[in-house]
Amino acid sequence: MTRQKATAIGFTAILMWALLALMTIGSAPVPPFLLNALCFGIGGAIGLVWIGFGAGFGVLRQISWKVYVFGTIGLFGYHALYFTAFRIAPFAETGLIAYLWPLFIVLFSGLLPGERLRPLHVIGALVAFAGAGLIVMGRGDSAEAVPVLGLSLAFLCALAWAAYSVLSRRLGDVPTESVVVYCLLTAALSVPAHLIWEVTAWPQGSWGWLSVIGLGLGPVGAAFFTWDIGMKKGDIQLLGVASYAAPLLSTLALIAAGLAEGKPILLLAAVLITGGAALAARASLKAQA
């Protein structure tokens, strides 16, 4: 596979993730862990078919159990936080804060061996956090009405996905087929978690079921496979910069669907978060030059 093709494949993950918030909202009132089980079950099942017609299941035995633990914790933890945040906090605001992960990926990457933080990294961080601050302060609610828990979970999920992405760069020799096991184990862990802590609620109507199936096929399914290919075989820097379009695309998708109002302050926050991440990416690109 050529570098250009792998980069193009990786970019499809960014497009799919732009619809993650919209489909998560459409899946209501399914509780977070049940949604995890359904979506990752679909994604994992499709992955099994892919392995069966491709490399064969023997490739899975060559992968260390430690890799499986790492990937499962990453996917399970991130989506538990993400889905919970969307159930208890405003849609657009939650999505924007959750999409601080591209910025954190750049910042965390600067702490890896051979890398260092540059002034633009810090400036980008400040600009992006200013956007997040606008979201909270611009709600116009009293302090008691601001859903601090939901927005905090969105922030934590951004940190979780950034940590997972940066650490996964150290697993470049691990085949992408490993992601199938991540998905299946995440689905398996989500079942007892749902039975213990949640009340079962299934998707409502055809749109609800289509949203769940769409999540399993795309943002919570194929996207992880294509992202893995792009990160390991494509242009990592280019994909990193391109990922900063995700929060803006996600917000525009919510506005287009009538689930968020295109208020100036919300759009300004989207621009600030995207712009701050882009500044940080520019610093990384200079470091690679």
Give the pLDDT confidence of 152-189 residue by residue, as tens digits. Answer: 999 999 999 889 888 887 787 899 999 999 999 999 99
**Paired tokens of 140:** 């116009």
Q: Which of 12-26, 111-125, 152-166 has the lowest mean pLDDT?
A: 111-125
Q: What is the pLDDT of residue 120?
A: 83
pLDDT at 220 over 80: yes
Q: Cα–Cα distance between 110 and 284 in angstroms, integer?
A: 8
Q: Cα–Cα distance between 160 and 79 in angstroms, integer?
A: 9
**Paired tokens of 273:** 């978060």
Q: Which residues contact 64 (CB under 8 A, 6 or more apart)?
A: none
Average confidence score pLDDT of the chain = 86
**Paired tokens of 65:** 């159990």
Q: Cα–Cα distance between 279 and 90 in angstroms, integer?
A: 27
Q: What is the pLDDT of residue 254?
A: 87
Q: What is the pLDDT of residue 137?
A: 64
Q: Cα–Cα distance between 82 and 69 in angstroms, integer?
A: 20
**Paired tokens of 117:** 């933080």
Alpha helices in 89-204 (DSSP H): 91-98, 101-109, 119-137, 148-168, 178-197
Q: Which of 132-136, 162-166, 275-279 has the lowest mean pLDDT?
A: 132-136
Using 50, 70 and 90 to split pLDDT, how confident is the model at 22?
very high
pLDDT at 51 over 90: yes
Report the share of the chain in percent with pLDDT over 70: 93
Asked if 254 and 95 touch (Cβ cutoff 8 Å), the reply is: yes
Helix, strand, coil share (%) of the chain residues, nearest 5: 80, 0, 20
Q: What is the pLDDT of residue 144?
A: 53
Asked if 98 and 85 touch (Cβ cutoff 8 Å), the reply is: yes
Q: What is the pLDDT of residue 205?
A: 94
Alpha helices in 234-263 (DSSP H): 236-242, 246-256
Mean pLDDT for 195-211 is: 95
Q: How many CB atoms lie within 10 A of CB 2?
A: 9
Mean pLDDT for 228-241 is: 78
User: In terms of pLDDT, which residue wins out, 3 or 50?
Assistant: 50
Using 50, 70 and 90 to split pLDDT, how confident is the model at 52?
very high
Q: What is the pLDDT of residue 114?
A: 66
Using 50, 70 and 90 to split pLDDT, how confident is the model at 103?
confident
pLDDT in tens, 105-114: 878 877 776 6
Q: Cα–Cα distance between 37 and 32 in angstroms, integer?
A: 9
Q: Cα–Cα distance between 207 and 226 in angstroms, integer?
A: 26
Using 50, 70 and 90 to split pLDDT, how confident is the model at 139?
low
**In the Cβ-directed half-sphere of 17, how many Cα atoms lie within 13 Å?**
26
pTM: 0.83
